[in-house]
Amino acid sequence: MTNSDKYANCFITTFGVNQSEVSSLAYQSINEWDSVGHMALMAQIEDEFGISLEMDDVIDFSSFQKGKELIAKYGITFDD
């Protein structure tokens, strides 16, 4: 499984969305991505990639795309 797949699966698992929906997700764009859902997503990503996100990155994590940029700071590369 690629890092892109792992990353997308974090959203699918946390929010119960389809693969086709993940790339367009943004904070509060769906009911599940509220403040509680946000922290669940952060925990899922940290567990999946073995990283510990800095608080500034947790706060700046506003969309699927922005999250990829932030995670790249931790040495995680994506195949797309």
pLDDT digits (tens, 9 = 90+) for 17-54: 999 999 999 999 999 999 999 999 999 999 999 999 99
Within 13 Å and on the Cβ side, how many CA atoms surround 78? 15
Q: How far apart are CA 61 and CA 63, in angstroms?
A: 6
Taking Cα atoms as reference points, which of 53, 60, 48 lies closest to residue 7? 48
Q: Which structural domains are found in the chain, ordered by start?
A: 3-13+25-72 (1.10.1200.10)
- pTM as predicted: 0.94
Q: How far apart are CA 69 and CA 31, in angstroms?
A: 24
